[in-house]
Amino acid sequence: MSEQDTGTAAAKKERSTAAKWSRRGFIGAGVLAGGALLIGVGVRPGNPVGKLKATVAGGAGEELVNSWVKIGADNIVTAIIPHCEMGQGAHSVLAQMLADELDADWAKVEVMQAPADGSYIVSDTARMFVAPFTMNAADWIEPTWDGLFTQIGRLADAMITGGSSSIRTTGQYQMRIAGAAARKMLIGAAADEWGVPASEITTRDSTLIHSGSGKSAPYSDFAAAAAEQPMDSSPALKDPKDYRLMGKSKRRTDIPAKVMGKADFGIDANIPGVELADLSYAAVRRPPVPGTEVTSMDAEAAKGMPGVQQILNMGSFIAVVADGYWNAQQALNTITAEYSASESPIKTTADQFAAFRDAIDSAGDDGGEQAASKGDAASAFADAATKLEAEYSAPFLAHAPMEPVNCTAWVRDTDDGAKCDIWTSTQVPLMARSAAAGALGMDDEDITVHHPFLGGAFGRRLENDYVTMAVRVAKATGYPIKMIWSREEDTQKALYRPADVSRFKGGLDAGGKLIAYNNIFTQRHDPAEASVPGIYDIANTSVRVAEAPLHLPFSAWRSVDHSQQGFFIESFIDEAAIAAGADPLEYRLNMLGANTARHKGVLEKVAEMSNWSAPRGEGIGLGVAIVESFGTVGAEVIEVDMTSGGPKMLNVWAAMDAGYVMNPDGFRNQIEGGIVFGLTAAMYGEIELEDGAVKQSNFHDYQMLRMDETPAIEVAIINSGTVPIGGAGEPGTPPAAPALANAIFAASGKRLREMPFAKQFA
């Protein structure tokens, strides 16, 4: 199925739901109107922009038409993007969506990062995170949900980028409506001025046209007047057949700066008014074991080191402030310290895995929390013709974004009281502000967060531990500091994708069908459905979660629970297929349950792409896995060569159904990257514990997949038209590890039940 073939189906499906989107309120407008929200209430002239106007559109000749778009005197349309740009392309694609509805000239569209301001909360993203079941609410309740989540979003500082959600939430429910509403306001202004009906005015390439009178004008001519027009909270949105930018592989707007070395990341922060030579840098060291404190330090040697300005024992960490990062780090390296004793009984990796197994053993046959239940899985297992038992495990993982954790902060007294400015790479700028406010005892309003590009994040930058540290140092010094973590600190003192153990007892009937599925593990965080094999029709299912201590702090890591569960579930399904003597891909197709047309589609597509049925040479094998995550269904086939002992990955084929893809080339880039991320974890990813501390420290022992090991990757997109549409950033990752493990089994007969794989062939 090509994208061409499915376009019509997508068009039909989208058309049928277009009305639903347009019922949604213009959220920003509601918020700016003072919280009296709500939906369907036209916003009065003057209200939509408020005090934001000066900060966002302060330039000469600039007019803010609504909170997401401004139009300059030069007819440049600027899309104001509430999400951060961490490589996922959201800035560009959200601008594409807004510009398409606005009928803007793409060559004259620019992108602006929205400031860290409560007006730019992404309430629909928050809603997708915490209450995805409300995303397709009934008409009568929709205004209530919308209003509730706008208020909650404001309270929760929900300016957040994560969950593969920017395009499918903010894009669909905010940027498109903003673009369409702005277009309608421009038309209204032109109609008033020209004395013609609004219905006779058309738009194209940032131009208003009245063909009857021959009048036309650039948007900029009516930008000021448009701002006085009533804002429509439910403008009509385009049919897919009318898309001019959506669904097209427009080039990303952030890439030119990134190939010239001109893109600013958090670590590149310059402080206005502070000379380069006067900026100070902080190197920091936290205690090696989580939850412990610095009890004493010996900094005698560091005092005499070049460039050192201050040495701080902050209790929870040590900081050296110097005239440059290198000097600061060199001095820090000479400091010795004593730390408080850890209360955690877990000292080693073996201790942690023993804790998982103890918890699972203690839960017995029916203990723990039931995550999913259907039929009688225990009896079905007892009666099964063929019984399978398997235990899988996955280790802790660090995020390891290429830009090490850093934060620049300046806390100072002014005539207007204490103020703080922060420059940092963050997925949650308003939460960063709250964290800083808490650490400083200041009000949110006195803190300004500047958030440039992120040099990777993968969930790490949803946390604010580093922001708190930087502002505490900056408060102590009273002058601006740029805190940079060493890669060692970044690897060893972070928050982690949790390790886990997962046990299965499966039963096949005489025909080889999986009729009993008993599973228990200990780590369930998010999304809740990740551990449920819901795509398959299994008559008797029991999924349980036992409670176990976790030595290292948790944080979301690209695809979150799917990163382990994808491996556990899809490896076990493969074992069932093998036990049944079936072809693993065929077996999956036959097992699909209700509402799985998309799953069938991606499996059939990936079979075709990989030429699945064609025989491979001795020692070469194919493995398949399918995982639905973040609204996208993805199937991957990996071809691996085991003839030289260890796995050599040759090819990856991926078929992804996200419903409708807004930028196909950008989507493919995300899936390719998600696959490499998953394969890196599969081959090498492992954070181990020694004496309660993380053993790995840098890329020499926390290895990444590199160019020479990366297989060829081919990604196919299926636009099935499902609404709401699916995400791009995470869904490529979960199928990669199980597809590789399954391929290794096919090629060598060796079943891998532990991640990572490479060391098992050393």
Partner 1 sequence: MIEFTINGQATSLDADPNMPILWVVREKLGMTGTKFGCGIAACGACTVHLDGEPVRSCSTPLSAAEGRAITTIEGVSGEDGELSAVQQAWISEQVPQCGYCQSGQIMSATALLRDNPAPSDDDIDAAMSGNICRCGTYKRIRQAIKVAAGLETAQSEDEAQESAA
Partner 2 sequence: MRKFTASMAALGTLLIAACGGSEVQEPVEQIIIAEPGEAASAAAPEQAAPPEPEQPAE
638-697: contacts with partner 1 (CB under 8 A): 661, 663-666, 669-670, 672-677, 680
Nearer to partner 1, 6 or 67 (CB): 6
Instruction: Name the residue type at position 385.
Output: A
Q: Of residues 672-691, which lie at the interface with partner 2 (CB under 8 A)?
A: none
Three-class secondary structure of residue 287 per DSSP? coil
Q: Of residues 116-135, which lie at the interface with partner 2 (CB under 8 A)?
A: 126, 129-131, 133
Q: Of residues 218-247, which lie at the interface with partner 1 (CB under 8 A)?
A: 247
Q: Which does 294 bind (CB under 5 to 8 A by kind): partner 2, partner 1, none?
A: partner 2
- 578: contact with partner 1 by CB under 8 A: no
Report the run of H or E that residue 391 belongs to, with start and end: strand 386-394
Nearer to partner 2, 45 or 306 (CB): 306
- 314: contact with partner 2 by CB under 8 A: yes
Binding-site member from 264, 323, 376, 672 for partner 2 (CB under 8 A): 323
- 7: contact with partner 2 by CB under 8 A: no
Instruction: Name the residue type at position 63.
Output: E
- 256: contact with partner 1 by CB under 8 A: yes
- 628: contact with partner 2 by CB under 8 A: no
Tokens of 298: 């010996």
Q: How far is the CB of 641 from partner 1 (least distance, A)?
A: 15
Residue pair 26/177 in contact (Cβ under 8 Å)? The answer is yes
From CA 388, how far away is CA 409, in angstroms rounded?
56
Nearer to partner 1, 2 or 340 (CB): 2
Cis peptide bond N-terminal to 288, omega within 30: no
Cis peptide bond N-terminal to 724, omega within 30: yes
From CA 181, how far away is CA 101, in angstroms rounded?
9
Classify residue 273 by its DSSP letter.
T
Residue pair 86/457 in contact (Cβ under 8 Å)? The answer is yes
- 428: contact with partner 2 by CB under 8 A: yes
Q: How far is the CB of 406 from partner 1 (least distance, A)?
A: 9
Residue span 477-496 as binding mask against partner 2, x where in contact by CB under 8 A, dash where not: --x-----------------
Total interface residues for partner 1 by CB under 8 A: 78
CB atoms under 10 Å from CB of 429, counted, come to: 27
From CA 256, how far away is CA 253, in angstroms rounded?
7
Q: How far is the CB of 326 from partner 1 (least distance, A)?
A: 4
- 282: contact with partner 1 by CB under 8 A: no
Pick the stretch among 349-357, 468-476, 660-668, 696-704 that binds partner 2 (CB under 8 A).
Answer: 468-476
Q: Of residues 321-350, which lie at the interface with partner 1 (CB under 8 A)?
A: 324-327, 329
Residue pair 111/254 in contact (Cβ under 8 Å)? The answer is yes
What does each C-alpha distance from 151 to 27, 29, 427, 557 come to in angstroms? Answer: 10, 13, 20, 28
Q: Which does 666 bind (CB under 5 to 8 A by kind): partner 2, partner 1, none?
A: partner 1
Q: Which is nearest to 26 in space by CA: 235, 169, 171?
A: 235
- 454: contact with partner 1 by CB under 8 A: yes
Bridge partners, residue 370, by sequence: 544
- 107: contact with partner 1 by CB under 8 A: no
From CA 489, how far away is CA 702, in angstroms rounded?
13
Residue pair 522/545 in contact (Cβ under 8 Å)? The answer is yes
The residue with tokens 């990604």 is 715
From CA 323, how far away is CA 87, in angstroms rounded?
31
- 276: contact with partner 1 by CB under 8 A: yes
From CA 725, how far away is CA 727, in angstroms rounded?
7
- 699: contact with partner 1 by CB under 8 A: yes
Nearer to partner 1, 323 or 583 (CB): 323
- 86: contact with partner 1 by CB under 8 A: yes
Q: How far is the CB of 667 from partner 1 (least distance, A)?
A: 9
Residue span 430-459 as binding mask against partner 2, x where in contact by CB under 8 A, dash where not: -x--xx--xxxx------------------
Rg value, the chain, Cα: 27
Q: How far is the CB of 314 from partner 2 (least distance, A)?
A: 5
**Bridge-based pairing state of the strands 620-629 and 318-322:** unpaired
Which residues lie near partner 2 (CB under 8 A)? 126, 129-131, 133, 152, 155-157, 275, 277-280, 294, 297, 299, 303-316, 322-323, 327, 428, 431, 434-435, 438-441, 463-465, 468, 472, 476, 479, 526, 528
